[in-house]
Structure 1
Amino acid sequence: MNVARRLLLATLIAVLTGLAPSAQAAQPQPVEPRIVSIGGAVTEILFALGMGERVVAVDQTSRYPAAARALPDVGYARALSPEGVLSVAPTLILAMEGAGPPSTMEVLKQASVPVVIIPDGHDREAVLRKIAAVANAVGAQEKGRALAAEVSEDFAALDAMVKALPERPRAVFVLSASGGAAVVGGSDTSADAILKLAGLTNAMAQIKGFKPALDEAAMSAEPEAVVVMRGGGQVLDAATVFALPAFAGTPAARDKRLVSLPGSYLLGFGPRTPRAARDLAAALHPGAKLPELPPRPWSAEPDQ
């Protein structure tokens, strides 16, 4: 081998040897997902699965835990803009069924970011489906099964408590009140579902959906209690609610029986739903002395 060829070979070896580490370093590295979470239950599930650090933005219904409220807000779940959602550079969008408007969801689905729709629902099976869907979307199936098992245990304990209750008080859920009219939760609503889970009778079950209550219909329903949300911006206290003509002459007004719970806790239908139903049942069955559900790390933080 002549000198020229030896020099060429040595140079080639040196070049290849020098490139080897760089070539290995240039291999694509796994990128942690940047998740936009749309829907309070979706967000709660993500944090309960230990995925909270990967959530980069949430919608306005995502109120729990406190770490979620500290994240950028992309708007109300049903009135999103594609620009707002995409502005945080997500690599994955998880949205509760019903998020919108449809035009926004269509734009998001056509973008280069995966969009996973999480099925909604307002019963035990629906909550477990949400957990499974979120866990599958983020590759946390084992943690999802563990979370679902804990939530199933909570639902079973709640069911046993409710079956032992001696009565089913008549209650009405008031969503809002303006201009002297109350919007109440009828059948086929999340409000109706949580009342039933808590062992209560929905006094406004004769109407369907969230609708204004006619004064005569509300008084004839004779609710023994009124249930409202807190934290939604509108203050619905006993003085405000029982001054409404629809409730002024009811047993609930006479006894001043009003229960207020955080909105996302009461109607979110996420992992903490059995706890919300238990708290509602305890408030309206004061003599029952219902036991607390087992402590869970994902529900330990006080709600706002």
Structure 2
Amino acid sequence: MIASRLRRPSRGAVLAVLTLVGLSPTSFAADTSAAAGAPSRIVSIGGSVTEIVYALGQQKRLVAVDTTSIHPREASELPNVGYMRQLAAEGVLALDPDLILAIEGSGPPPAVQVLKASAVPFTEVPESHSAEGVLEKITVVGKALGVPARADALKAEVSADFEATAKAVAKAKTKPGVLFLLSVGSGRMLAAGSHSAADAVIDLAGGHNVLASFDGYKPVNAEALVAASPDYIVAMTRPGVDPSDDIRALPGIELTPAGKNDRIVTVDGQTLLGFGPHTAAAIRELARRIGTLTE
């Protein structure tokens, strides 16, 4: 693993990396716009995909996004094709796109099959809950947009961000137990198990998932909450909604270390779980809040 500073690398540092991989600052500067004939009416499906398009400076080529594309804020002002798993093919094609970028897992399958069978180029962006997965997303999006040098520069920056976070978290002397809640309502909890995005970020932040005994996301009751005995409870916020008080009111919460010490951490779920260009920074902030990063 390459040693990196905890701070995000400067533009100069990124350009130095580009030189090492055979790209000059001149090639980076020349890549500020897409090549002639590159797609100019793009529909982006998937929050992390849209974030990457913006990070590559290609947002002016977007004609629509999906409902998970909430970062940056300007993305939500674009026409919307609906939730990524509930797409209507005719609605997407009605926008007259010349490229569709869609995160792996978009659906429903019949709608995606129609989009793939249409005359519009369709690029599926692979989903993987890891630093390597984020870099692969950037590669695929950069290639589809015709801006590979910009993609290489962004990958250098994001890779350094992940490595700096991993290096700092590795110094932690404890590995706190974390319970991740996707939602809390009417006393019902939807929690994250293993092989999930939340499980991956808990590990990357230096914690351990106290509900790793099951896969994916499942409802849990008060008995399971108490038995899990989390040191921290991490929950997703939604626009205008902070679940902290609902969590404090959960039956049995006062019997857990998290409840006794009021260790309830709220996070922006899209940035943290989306595994996009800003996820490393979100993981670093989570690590700071669960006590595994003190620098």
* TM-score normalised according to structure 2 size: 0.84
For residues 122-148 of structure 1, what are the alpha-carbon distances to aligned partners after superposition, in whole Å with 9 as ceiling and x for unaligned? 001111111101111111111111111
Identical amino acids, percent of aligned pairs:
44
What does 1:1-304 correspond to in 2, within 5 Å? Answer: 30=37, 32-231=39-238, 235-245=241-251, 247-285=253-291, 288-290=293-295
Figure out how many residues of one structure are paired with residues of the other and give that number.
260
For residues 181-226 of structure 1, what are the alpha-carbon distances to aligned partners after superposition, in whole Å with 9 as ceiling and x for unaligned? 2110000000001111111111111121100113222211110111
Aligned-pair distance for 1:31?
A: 6.8
Structure 1 pair 90/222, CA: closer, same or farther in 2 (3 Å)?
Answer: same
Structure 1 pair 61/246, CA: closer, same or farther in 2 (3 Å)?
Answer: farther
Residue 25 of structure 1 corresponds to which residue in structure 2?
A: none
- Contact 1:176 / 1:236 at 8 angstroms: preserved in 2? no
CA distance, structure 2, for counterparts of residue 32 and residue 117 of structure 1:
15
- Contact 2:125 / 2:137 at 8 angstroms: preserved in 1? yes
CA distance, structure 1, for counterparts of residue 233 and residue 96 of structure 2:
43
> What is the root-mean-square deviation in Å for CA atoms of aligned residues?
1.6
Letter in 2 for 1:114: P
For residues 84-126 of structure 1, what are the alpha-carbon distances to aligned partners after superposition, in whole Å with 9 as ceiling and x for unaligned? 2122211100000000000100111122111110000100111
- Contact 1:57 / 1:71 at 8 angstroms: preserved in 2? yes
Q: Which runs of 4+ in 1 moved over 4 A?
A: 29-32
CA distance, structure 2, for counterparts of residue 220 and residue 73 of structure 1:
42
CA distance, structure 1, for counterparts of residue 55 and residue 38 of structure 2:
22
Q: Which runs of 5+ in 1 are unaligned?
A: 1-28, 291-304
- Contact 1:204 / 1:218 at 8 angstroms: preserved in 2? no
Q: Which runs of 5+ in 2 are unaligned?
A: 1-35
Aligned-pair distance for 1:153?
A: 0.5
Aligned-pair distance for 1:247?
A: 2.9
Aligned-pair distance for 1:32?
A: 4.8
- Contact 1:230 / 1:236 at 8 angstroms: preserved in 2? yes
Larger radius of gyration: 1
- Contact 1:175 / 1:183 at 8 angstroms: preserved in 2? yes
Which structure would you say has the larger RCO, counting Cα contacts within 8 Å and 6 or more residues apart? 2
- Contact 1:229 / 1:266 at 8 angstroms: preserved in 2? no
Structure 1 pair 107/232, CA: closer, same or farther in 2 (3 Å)?
Answer: farther
Aligned-pair distance for 1:265?
A: 0.9
For residues 50-87 of structure 1, what are the alpha-carbon distances to aligned partners after superposition, in whole Å with 9 as ceiling and x for unaligned? 11110110000011112211111110000111122122
CA distance, structure 2, for counterparts of residue 273 and residue 262 of structure 1:
10
